[in-house]
Structure 1
Amino acid sequence: MVRKSILLASCFLVAAQAKDYHTKVVILGGGVSGISAALNLTASGISDFMMVEARDILGGRAQNAPFADINVELGCNWVQGLGTNPINQLALKYNLSTTFSDSADVVWYNESGKYDGTATYNKLDADFTKVLDIGMEKLKSNLVDVSGRVSLDLAGWHPKTPEDEAAEYYFWDWEFGEDPEASSTVFAAVNDYWTYNSFGPGSDGNNYVLDNRGFSRIFIEESKKVFKQNDKRLLLGTTVTKIEYNNKGVTVHTKNGDRIYAEYALSTFSVGVLQHKDVEWSPALPDWKLEGIYGFHMATYTKIFLNFPYQFWDDTQFVVWADPDRRGYLNAWQNLNAPGYLPKNTSTNIFFATVTQDLSYEMEAKTNEEVQAELMAVLRKMYGNDIPEPTEIMFPRWHNNPLFRGSYSNWPIGESDEHHANMKASLHNRVFFSGEAMSEEYYGFLQGAWFTGAKAASDITRCMKHKCPSSEYYPEIKNADIKASIVRRGFLDTLQ
């Protein structure tokens, strides 16, 4: 009886603490896209909005953590696409510390030791340019898309050895987060073109962020233009559990029992979160939207940081391991002690591996000690048995984290432009969607999140002025060529 009374008292306490909020617009998520939307709503003279963020800090997947006497980036780490790219402009505005990232500054190892992989790398570099040309030609001629594997083959790239596969992983998977078999050629070409050619002179480049304040600092500083200290419109540490919507408005339910009543909502949830159904939708998302969401991919890209008593590895920015048995196994290593990176510090000697896709899932399921043992086994194959054990290890578990369910999106083979339009289309012009995955040009990049947040804010502003833009979506996506082929071959007759 006492226990029952305690439970009842706890329920009453939660109910008493729960709050109801009323606002014009609610932004769900305090990442880059949400911050961009808040800035644009404010610039349009709209201040009656709220932002709900599950973490106790803004920034989304722009996250850093203390490690080996510095802060390292767990999430996004590069300014990719320079020039007038708004992310690059913010980095310049806030004097973010960066350095040029040169993937050609690399040494190669296999079971026999160091080998010369320059010729293989250069051939793959040239063949990848052909892949992009193939993608652009298919786009211009309205030809069917093919996977990255097909286009690599058409370009003349045929990996036959573990060393070939190591170069391919370093060139493809390490960039897209998934292998060539999973990736679209057409949209890889679109994505590359817009990222490295659309921001004017000098836009073709990557800068690695080394700022101890964290990459997120530039976004947090921008958010201060909107949210003042202790701003009641900002709900940190608040997890969304359910979204009810109709053609009149939206009700957002939170884990602590709060309800937010809004005329409009902006979902900035990652496509991974949408796929995992970590948030309940009422009514359920329509079939046409689910097809687009599930057709897209949320890649997982995991950096596993090791700190050592001293540096025993090469001075190049990158090191590639060609595993004899498994393509991509602990393939890409990065040296934060490289010239131009971290200042010399006797307690900070960071060498880290990046894993993606299935290997990321495997590592996330293991303990830190088990992961460290795997990494050290590879390092001893490269540098001998006398190397020291690391003093620290750290890595994020992006895939298993219910707030993210992955690192960034990748356009897969089979996802059509119409499917993507469905994924980002609004519901009743009441619920809008933004985030890097919702950008056709810049998916997978921070600027994709930035631009889609601004676009969603513009659409909501127009709706508030009773001038809603038409929402492009496709309740049925038909394939005339396939239908014609089926008819021509008499398949429909046999089915009838």
Structure 2
Amino acid sequence: MDQLSAQWFDSGSSYDGDELLFLDGYQVLVKHLAAGVNVKLEHEVTAIVDQGSAGVSVETKQGVFTAARVVVTLPLGVLKSGSVHFQPALPFGKQAAIDGLGVGVLNKCCLLFPQTFWDSEFDWLNYLPKLGQGGQWAEWVSFARPTKRPVLMGFNAADFGTAIEQWDDTAIVQSAVGALQSMFGRDIPAPVDALVTRWASDPYARGAYSCHVLGSTPTQRDDLAKNIHGRLFFAGEATERQHYQTVHGAYQSGLRAAQEVLLAGVATTNSKRTRS
């Protein structure tokens, strides 16, 4: 909390209406959008080189790809890590946005139980931890009502969410069950399966989402979204000023970048016609 901007930490917008749960996971959305697209998996990008009129080269550990225009959707945490080298270096304003915006952590622990022991009519369960354990396992979501399965998912953010990434799965599950025992009693059943996330440790994410820390402003998201010379374009939730931190924000940023690419192509074509 001491790192967040009091002025801008919740500057985003939200849509009206109920939330939608993908019962088969976000893969259904990804598969739909990827239909008919030649997607190259396991091609870790190491460098992006703007070669001017010759186009943009994307260097990976599996080879080099060249195109007239490239859309960069690297998470903010990856951009901050410097694991992908840009040549030439990114403009000052864009690098300042990368350095200035924050990256948050929100890790999940999803537990499958043999049966429900909580009131399945409620989707969200809140827990007030003991003194000195502020924020630990304070928020849970129940999937029992929408999925008819005895599943609870606990969230941990900030310092504690980052710290438990160094624990093994068994320790994390034990900590989660301990919190649930404080809420529902020590005779609750043991989970039969579990799934945990470690977003900060994931080299392809380096965090769960962008956030406004002290000194950052919403205009930095605009700077992060700006294309470079009509050849290098940027998308991702961190580039979305109104709906950052969300899947729909990331999707909308992709639509915006795609439209910019199309307009850049039209401008290039018109320029060639004028010269001829």
1:62-110 alpha-carbon deviations (Å, 9 max, x no partner): xxxxxxxxxxxxxxxxxxxxxxxxxxxxxxxxxxxxxxxxxxxxxxxxx
Distance 1:420 1:349 in 2: 40
Answer whether contact 2:237 2:246 (CA < 8 A) is retained.
yes
Distance 1:265 1:400 in 2: 27
The structure-2 alpha-carbon separation of the partners of 1:420 and 1:327, relative to structure 1 and needing over 3 Å to count, comes to: same
Answer whether contact 2:23 2:147 (CA < 8 A) is retained.
no
User: Post-superposition shift, 1:417?
Assistant: 4.1
Task: Confirm or deny that 1:221 pairs with 2:32.
Answer: yes
Please point out which of 353, 373, 381 is paired with 2:182.
Answer: 381
- Equivalent position of 2:92 in the other structure: 287
User: Post-superposition shift, 1:295?
Assistant: 1.1
Task: Confirm or deny that 1:255 pairs with 2:72.
Answer: no
User: Post-superposition shift, 1:253?
Assistant: 0.9
- Equivalent position of 2:247 in the other structure: 446
Secondary structure of 1:363 counterpart = helix
User: Post-superposition shift, 1:210?
Assistant: 4.4
Structure 1 gaps of 5+ residues are 1-178, 197-203, 228-232, 469-496
Answer whether contact 1:309 1:349 (CA < 8 A) is retained.
yes
- Equivalent position of 2:273 in the other structure: none
Distance 1:295 1:461 in 2: 30
User: Post-superposition shift, 1:332?
Assistant: 0.5
Distance 2:218 2:143 in 1: 39
Secondary structure of 2:191 counterpart = coil
The structure-2 alpha-carbon separation of the partners of 1:418 and 1:313, relative to structure 1 and needing over 3 Å to count, comes to: closer
User: Post-superposition shift, 1:187?
Assistant: 6.6
The structure-2 alpha-carbon separation of the partners of 1:352 and 1:457, relative to structure 1 and needing over 3 Å to count, comes to: closer
In the TM superposition, what are the counterparts of 1:467-482 in structure 2 within 5 Å?
none
Distance 2:42 2:158 in 1: 29
Distance 2:223 2:92 in 1: 10
Please point out which of 19, 30, 41 is paired with 1:236.
Answer: 41
Distance 1:260 1:376 in 2: 48
Letter in 1 for 2:140: W
The structure-2 alpha-carbon separation of the partners of 1:379 and 1:450, relative to structure 1 and needing over 3 Å to count, comes to: closer
User: Post-superposition shift, 1:180?
Assistant: 7.7
Distance 2:205 2:110 in 1: 20
Task: Confirm or deny that 1:182 pairs with 2:4.
Answer: yes
Distance 2:219 2:124 in 1: 39
Answer whether contact 1:296 1:409 (CA < 8 A) is retained.
yes
Matched residue pairs, number?
266
The structure-2 alpha-carbon separation of the partners of 1:303 and 1:265, relative to structure 1 and needing over 3 Å to count, comes to: same
User: Post-superposition shift, 1:181?
Assistant: 5.4
User: Could you say what the CA RMSD is over the residues aligned between the two structures, in angstroms?
Assistant: 2.2
In the TM superposition, what are the counterparts of 1:187-206 in structure 2 within 5 Å?
188-189=10-11, 191-192=12-13, 195-196=14-15, 204-206=16-18
1:1-49 alpha-carbon deviations (Å, 9 max, x no partner): xxxxxxxxxxxxxxxxxxxxxxxxxxxxxxxxxxxxxxxxxxxxxxxxx
Secondary structure of 2:238 counterpart = helix
1:335-385 alpha-carbon deviations (Å, 9 max, x no partner): 222x3x222xxxx42122111122221121110111112112222222222
Letter in 2 for 1:366: W
- Equivalent position of 2:109 in the other structure: 304
Answer whether contact 2:5 2:216 (CA < 8 A) is retained.
no
Structure 2 gaps of 5+ residues are 270-276
- Equivalent position of 2:156 in the other structure: 355
User: Post-superposition shift, 1:184?
Assistant: 4.9
Answer whether contact 2:44 2:61 (CA < 8 A) is retained.
yes
User: Post-superposition shift, 1:264?
Assistant: 1.3
Moved over 4 A (4+): none
The structure-2 alpha-carbon separation of the partners of 1:414 and 1:222, relative to structure 1 and needing over 3 Å to count, comes to: same
Answer whether contact 2:51 2:57 (CA < 8 A) is retained.
no
**TM-score, normalised with respect to structure 2:** 0.87
Distance 1:289 1:443 in 2: 17
User: Post-superposition shift, 1:220?
Assistant: 1.8
Answer whether contact 1:246 1:430 (CA < 8 A) is retained.
no
Answer whether contact 2:103 2:211 (CA < 8 A) is retained.
yes
Distance 2:6 2:64 in 1: 41
Task: Confirm or deny that 1:420 pairs with 2:221.
Answer: yes
